[in-house]
Structure 1
C-alpha cells in the first residue's frame, strides 16, 4: 500500500491509524495473530511519538505499510526530536511491579510484538521500521 497516511500527532488520530494498519496488513495476507501484534506495536509506537516525542506540541506522523519478504513492514515517520528506540535499554523485569521504575516498557513491548525494529534519523525525520513475518 504505497503512499500511506499522514495524521496529526494527537491521540485522537489513533483509531484512523489502526484502521489503516489493520486493512493494509490484512491485504498483505498476514495472519490474524500477526495483524493483532502489529496493531499493538504501532499503537504503542505512535502513542510514544505523540506523548513523548512531540510532548504536547503540534506535529505529524506518517505511516506506510508494504510487503517485506513473507511478511510486512510498517514504516512510521515523524519530525519530533531524534529518539532511537532500538538503543533503549531493556527494562528491569525482575522483582515486584511496584518496586520497578515507571516507564520503559513500551519499547520492550514493541520489540516483543515485532520480529525486527530498525531505526534511522534521516534529514530531520525519525524513521522507525517494524517488521513482522506472516
Structure 2
C-alpha cells in the first residue's frame, strides 16, 4: 500500500493526481483504469478542497492498495461530514445550460469506478474508490 498526505489546496491537486497515477501503475492497473480512477480522485479531492474545507484549509490523506480484483484508493479528510453516496443522481435531461449547477462530480466518481464507499470514522470522512480490472 502507498500512502501520503497533501495540503487541501488546489495547488496540491496536480501532484496528488500524478502520485495516484504512478501508484496505480506500480500496482498493475491497466492504462484505462488509471485514467478512470484518476478522474474520480480528481473530482473527490476537488470537492473536498472547495466544499469540505473551503477557506479553512486542512489536510487530505490518500492511499492506493491492490486488491484481489483491482485497486482501492482511499481518501481521508477532517472536513465536515459529507456522504457522497447519499447524493441523488443528477438530472442529465436537457442541455447543460438548462440543468442546475453541481452534482456531476459525484456522478463521474460513480461512473468511473465499480464502487464508491463512504464512512465517517473517528472524526474523518473516509471515501473508498474501488476499481476492478477487466480480465
What residue is the counterpart of 1:14 in the other structure?
Answer: 13
Aligned to 1:30, the other structure's residue is in SS state coil
Partner of 1:83: 82
1:56 CA drift (Å): 1.4
1:121 and 1:45 mapped to 2: Cα distance?
15
- Cα distance between partner residues in 2 of 1:104 and 1:38: 18
Aligned to 2:91: 92
The alpha-carbon deviation at position 70 of structure 1 amounts to 2.0
Partner of 2:61: 62
Q: TM-score, normalised by structure 1?
A: 0.96
CA distance in 2, matches of 1:128, 1:42: 10
What is the number of residues matched between the two proteins? 133
CA-based RMSD: 0.8
Corresponding residue number in structure 1 for 2:30: 31
Contact 1:68/1:131 (<8 A) preserved: no
| Secondary structure of 1:98 counterpart | helix
Contact 1:30 1:133 in 2 (8 A): no
**More divergent stretch after superposition (44-53 vs 13-22):** 13-22
**1:40 is matched with which residue?**
39
Q: SS at the partner of 1:74?
A: strand
**Inter-partner Cα distance in structure 1 for 2:91 and 2:127:** 24
Deviation at 1:133, TM superposition (A): 1.1
Q: Could you tell me how far 1:126 is from its partner in structure 2? A: 0.1
C-alpha distance in structure 2 between counterparts of 1:56 and 1:43, whole Å? 19
Displacement after TM superposition at 1:99 (Å): 1.1
TM-score (norm 2): 0.96
